[in-house]
Structure 1
Amino acid sequence: MLNPAWLRSFASLIESGGFTRAAEQLGLTQAAVSQHIRHLEDELGPLLIRRPRKIELTPAGTALLDYCKETEEAACRLRLRLTDARTDHGDIGFITPGSVGLALYPLLLSLQQSHPGLVIRHRFAPDAEILQAVLEKRYELGLVTRQPDDPRLLATPFAEETLELVAPAGTRVECWQDLESLGFIDHPDGQAMATRLLARRFPGNPGVRTLACHGFSNQIALILEPVARGLGFTVIPRHARQAYARAERLQVVECGVPIVDTLWMIHRSEWPLSARASHVIQQLRQMPPFSSNSTTAAATR
């Protein structure tokens, strides 16, 4: 391996065009720079053609200069990657379900405002896509609704997500017939969520599939819009309802003992989180609505 000090002297010599200027740039004596070049030529052969007031590179010298540039570029890339040790700089990739994502994204933006060196990448996705994205290292952090059993993933409880029956404000919801009159606003997880919650609120009900469907949206931020307009009811995670701007147009129907799912923070288990990712998780845990959530509650399924 070539001595890095010799390489610095060689690169500085070519950049400055002379031994004296190179020595001044490096804080060395001219003799030291000359000695470094001599060591390189002993190993690699002639590198320079020395002419009055001009230095010309031999083919070997050109190859060595290219090597110096490649080495410096590699060092720069390494330094960028080593910014993982900093909590206030670098890229953070976070992939989550849409419901909790509505609550998380404004908090992530606030953290980015506080730390302009951070770059936040946030994506909404279902559990299967989240698992795959973290396994493939496309995102460092993920949130999933079920604890994974893949040994390549480390999962820790992060927050709780409560299912809610949400109806237009002022409407009566006391019996199954009231739901039949309202109609159901569906979404990709709507029937599964409604089946779980309505079985608790209306035991023995004929099932959500017997209700008239009055609308469907796969955009988490838009699911409550038809409900707010009086077009039907839905069952949705609390974080999505809390993120809806026109809360006065909605009512949450009491369903007895709540159904609460645990959200699991996941990342690759083979290596530690970057310092910035650990810092972001710590900050999020201190922010409402996540600061008051128990991180040890078991999911009720």
Structure 2
Amino acid sequence: MLNPQWLRTFATLVELGNFTRAAECLDLTQAAVSQHLRHLENALGLLVIRHPRRLELTPAGRALLDYCDEMNLADQRLRLRLSGADVESGEISLISPGSIGLALFPLLLTLQEAHPGWIVRHRFAPDPEVLEAVLRNQYELGLVTLKPDDPRLTARHFTQEPLELIVPAQEDVRGWGDLERLGFIDHPDGQAMASRLLSRHFPGNAGIRSLRRQGFSNQVGLILEPVARGLGFTVLPRYARTAFAKQDLIRVIECGAPVVDTLWLIHRAEWPLSSYATQAIDYLQAHLAAPAVAP
């Protein structure tokens, strides 16, 4: 690798066209300027032809000057990136549970359209995977439903999301017997979510495990498909329901006092967020339609 000080001396010498002025500008002796140029020419060949009143670059000298310009630009880009001032390019990396992810991903794409130099990288994952990915620096931002107590992470309130009891559009639920008749469409968090919500709406019930399991899907975007076809009921966070395209084929049953999950935004505590991550957070919170959670 070429010595950066030699490159700076060469670029200054070419700019000023004189050894004396270059030495004064760099606070060096003329002998030091000549020595730096000699080191470069020993490595690259003849760079400068000395005329009585001017310097002439050889082809190798022009190539080296272009290289100096590229190095200066690279240095500027690095400083901008480290300072957070470069908002025209960057990567938004977010890992989140599936339900909120369905609501956020279209917003992230809209944000990317407004900033073509940005890259959006988003992954759906449960809480433990989110925590591990952020701690291992695989994703800058994460969303979890349980606030972590790990000192390596900063956590702040992002939004709230209530659980909903969702049935086929033509069905009504007035008692536990209606759920027994319909059967349960399960998913990875289905039984835990259903237990939390249904214990409030149907106190003293036999429990979600007593109900017939009519189906299962681990794809959050597909869980409501069997419900829409009349094959059973399920319990999901609201953002998963609002992202479903066939709203006319499903129905939300009012369950009184809501069961609400708080979503926490997490990132590493040891260093500040990038400027584009901060912009993305502000944009998402401003444009995310907060669901009503009042009783």
Q: 1:132 to 1:217 in 2, by over 3 A?
A: same
1:186–1:215 CA contact under 8 A, matched in 2 = yes
> CA–CA distance in 2 between the matches of 1:148 and 1:83?
28
Other-structure match for 1:278: 278
The answer on 1:40 being equivalent to 2:36 is: yes
Other-structure match for 1:256: 256
> What stretches of structure 1 move > 2 A for 4+ residues in a row?
2-6, 30-37, 39-57, 67-89
Other-structure match for 2:142: 142
Other-structure match for 2:15: 27
Other-structure match for 1:61: none
What's the % identity of the aligned pairs? 55
Other-structure match for 1:198: 198
> CA–CA distance in 2 between the matches of 1:48 and 1:138?
41
Other-structure match for 1:19: none
> CA–CA distance in 2 between the matches of 1:87 and 1:189?
38
**Taking structure 1 as the reference length, what is the TM-score of the superposition?**
0.79
Q: How does 1:219-238 map to 2 (within 5 A)?
A: 219-238=219-238
2:166–2:236 CA contact under 8 A, matched in 1 = yes
Q: Secondary structure at the match of 2:252?
A: strand
Range moving further from structure 2, 237-246 or 84-93: 84-93
Please provide the CA RMSD for this pair.
Answer: 3.4
Q: How does 1:281-296 map to 2 (within 5 A)?
A: 281-290=281-290
Q: 1:184 to 1:153 in 2, by over 3 A?
A: same
Q: What do residues 70-121 of structure 1 show as CA deviations (whole Å, max 9, x unaligned)?
A: 9779747734743733334211100000000000000111111111121110
2:130–2:143 CA contact under 8 A, matched in 1 = yes
Number of corresponding residues: 274
The answer on 1:186 being equivalent to 2:182 is: no
2:103–2:288 CA contact under 8 A, matched in 1 = no
What are the ranges of 5 or more consecutive residues in structure 1 without an aligned counterpart?
13-21, 58-63
The answer on 1:78 being equivalent to 2:78 is: yes
Range moving further from structure 2, 136-145 or 79-88: 79-88
Q: 1:8 to 1:44 in 2, by over 3 A?
A: closer
Q: How does 1:66-105 map to 2 (within 5 A)?
A: 75=75, 78-79=78-79, 81-82=81-82, 84-105=84-105
Other-structure match for 1:112: 112
> CA–CA distance in 2 between the matches of 1:156 and 1:163?
21
Q: 1:39 to 1:166 in 2, by over 3 A?
A: same
What are the ranges of 5 or more consecutive residues in structure 2 without an aligned counterpart?
24-29, 50-56
1:134–1:268 CA contact under 8 A, matched in 2 = yes
Q: Secondary structure at the match of 1:92?
A: strand
Range moving further from structure 2, 131-140 or 84-93: 84-93
> CA–CA distance in 2 between the matches of 1:81 and 1:51?
33
2:9–2:37 CA contact under 8 A, matched in 1 = no
1:158–1:263 CA contact under 8 A, matched in 2 = yes
Q: Which amino acid aligns with 1:98?
A: G
Q: What do residues 162-198 of structure 1 show as CA deviations (whole Å, max 9, x unaligned)?
A: 0000000021211111001100000000000001111
Q: Which amino acid aligns with 2:109?
A: L
Q: 1:265 to 1:38 in 2, by over 3 A?
A: same
1:164–1:236 CA contact under 8 A, matched in 2 = yes
> CA–CA distance in 2 between the matches of 1:263 and 1:204?
29
> CA–CA distance in 2 between the matches of 1:46 and 1:110?
54
> CA–CA distance in 2 between the matches of 1:47 and 1:288?
59
> CA–CA distance in 2 between the matches of 1:33 and 1:223?
72
Q: How far 1:56 sits from its partner (Å)?
A: 12
Q: Which amino acid aligns with 2:36?
A: L
> CA–CA distance in 2 between the matches of 1:112 and 1:281?
13
Q: 1:189 to 1:33 in 2, by over 3 A?
A: same
> CA–CA distance in 2 between the matches of 1:237 and 1:252?
11
Q: How far 1:3 sits from its partner (Å)?
A: 7.7
Q: Which amino acid aligns with 2:123?
A: R
Q: How far 1:202 sits from its partner (Å)?
A: 0.7
Q: What do residues 115-173 of structure 1 show as CA deviations (whole Å, max 9, x unaligned)?
A: 11211101000000000111111111000000000000000000001000000002121
Q: Secondary structure at the match of 2:84?
A: helix
